[in-house]
Structure 1
Amino acid sequence: MLKRLLAALLLCMPVVPAHAATPAAHIIEPGDTLWAIARRYHLEVDELQQWNGFTSDTVLRPDGAVRLSPAEQTWPDWSTWSETITAAEANGDPTKACPVPVLSLRRVWVKYLDFNGVVHDGSLIVNRSIVPATKRAFALLYQWRFPIMVMEPVSRNMPELTDRTVLTSGYECRTVAGTTKWSQHAYGLAIDVNPRQNPMIKGDYLDPPHSEPWIPRAPYRTGMIHGSGAELAFTTNGFSWGGRWQSLKDYMHFSPNNL
């Protein structure tokens, strides 16, 4: 009986044909196991462990990426630090009237994994009150191998970038679109993660533009955030997620005050 059950389960599991091109990474979905991923791509479990720096205790997290070929670099240890910034660094124009003083802001540096499987040091500016929570959230994203398209400094991390709407970032001295009300970003109390893959959707309005392929949320694709997936890196550290809002969906957006 047990043998028949195991045989039936094996028949039900999708396997990538041997002649099919193997993608660079597999994006983890709920229920995935390293054994099932290895079988799907005709690989060995110990190969996946070696290429990804996994151990026998590693727990696969939905939205994370599993490399399917050897990495060009060893997996660097997590590191993070924060630093003060100047008004010019924060706003470009030191005389610009913004709702928080620059002394209340900090630049936070974190390691992150990009869409090509390369690790970078990236930064974002946030209110100093959420610096510890921000560090903890990005530490989990890094531990879970969640890919981030790009963070500052763009000149080093993606010098060919021309569309800055795809940046994972925090502070920005701006109002809510279409209003005169300050955005939570203007207080340093909001973080947007992979905006292109996690757009804000309100009726027919889509931000950033050209994010139509990511409106359907059922697929698990590189950089997308799902409930009980990458969302948990932030929501377990005191943030709320715009992907759970009812009046609109802002899948990129995390803030400690649910605004």
Structure 2
Amino acid sequence: MLKLVAALIAVCLLALPSVAATAVERSSRISPIPDDLWRSMQGVSWHDDVPGCGRGRCKCPRRGELVLLSIPYVDFEGKEKTGRMVVHRDVAAEVLAIFEDLHRQKYPINSIRLIDDFHGDDDASMAANNTSAFNCRLVPGSAALSMHSQGRAVDINPVQNPFIWRGTVRPPSGASFDGKAERIKRKPGVITAGDGVTTAFSKRGWKWGGDWFSMKDYQHFFRGVR
């Protein structure tokens, strides 16, 4: 009898780490887009006709193709937070698994808020160092839909991981993190090749804008249509 009790105690002790790990998984959630959010998305992050695109040429995903994620994360002060993100349903489980990896790594994230909180303005979201995903819009200066338009792209900590092209840095506050020498110092929130963030995405088939040659988009991760 004593041997049985001892064995049960040992099993329980071994299970403690996994119980702690699954606490984050339990608080991660995939939900349909609620009515109030869908209403607030109209003409902001979702459009019948995307501004700047010819009528009927650019289509946003249907409501049923999008889902709302609840994502636990650790902020730059080490505090536990929960954010919201809209993505395509086909990548929802992958995105949650990726952010669960980042949470286990204690990778700091400034905020995870819907782009609708910034009136669909990508520049405003980046300036606020906000991590976001779905926004049905054109690539700036083009007539092509952004990868974010399909809910298959995520931008993480834009200030520490700016977009750089032909001397332009977006957001401008990311200029302190735009050079190789600055990025190699591995300051909190900075994403570098082969680190825990890029690994969490790449092992699930996602690509990174930091690998591009003609430009660098260190904040940007994307998944092609399978």
For normalisation by structure 1, the TM-score amounts to: 0.64
Secondary structure, counterpart of 2:131 in structure 1:
coil
Q: What is the correspondence of 1:105-116 to structure 2 with a 5 Å cutoff? A: 105-116=66-77
- Could you tell me the percent identity over the aligned residues? 28
Alpha-carbon displacement from aligned partner over 1:199-232 (angstroms, at most 9, x marks no partner)? 1111211111221101122111111111111211
Q: Which residue of 1 aligns with 2:29?
A: 81
Are the structure 2 counterparts of residues 95 and 236 from structure 1 closer, same or farther at C-alpha, using a change threshold of 3 Å? closer
1:222 and 2:188 aligned: yes
CA contact (8 A) 1:136 1:237 kept: no
1:255 corresponds in structure 2 to 222
Aligned partner of 1:103 among 48, 52, 64: 64
* 1:53-107 CA distance string (max 9 Å, x none): xxxxx9xxxxxxxxxxxxxxx9993131011114324345576424211211111
For the structure 1 residues 130 and 90, does the alpha-carbon distance in structure 2 shift closer, same or farther, using more than 3 Å as the test?
farther
Name the structure 2 match of 1:240. Answer: 207
Aligned twin of 1:128: 89
Q: What residue identity is the alignment partner of 2:23?
A: D
163, 187, 199: which one aligns with 2:162: 199
Letter of the 2:30 counterpart: S
- For residues 157-205 of structure 1, the C-alpha deviation after alignment (integer angstroms, 9 at most, x for no partner) is xxxxxx5322100000110010011001011110000011101111211
Where does residue 117 of structure 1 map in the other structure?
Answer: 78
- Partners of 1:226 and 1:120 lie apart in 2 by 24
Paired residues, number: 180
Q: Which segments of 5 or more consecutive residues in structure 2 lack a partner in the other structure?
A: 1-16, 50-58, 116-123
Secondary structure of 1:137's counterpart equals helix
Alignment of 1:90 onto 2:41:
yes
Correspondence 1:7-156 to 2 at 5 A: 77-78=23-24, 79-85=27-33, 86=35, 87-92=38-43, 96-97=48-49, 98-152=59-113
The whole-number CA distance in structure 2 between the counterparts of 1:103 and 1:208 is 32
What is the CA deviation profile of residues 224-243 of structure 1, one whole-angstrom value per residue up to 9, with x for unaligned ones? Answer: 11111121111111211111
Which residue number in structure 1 is paired with residue 10 of structure 2? none
Using the size of structure 2 for normalisation, the TM-score is 0.72
Contact 1:202/1:247, CA 8 A, preserved across alignment? yes
Structure with more of its chain in helix, by fraction: 2
- Bigger shift: residues 84-93 or 226-235: 84-93
Distance 1:75 1:120, change over 3 A: farther
Secondary structure of the residue aligned to 2:23 is coil
Picking from 150, 153, 164, the partner of 1:187 is 150
Structure 1 equivalent of residue 119 of structure 2: none
2:130–2:157 CA contact under 8 A, matched in 1: yes
Long gaps (5+) in structure 1:
1-57, 59-73, 155-162
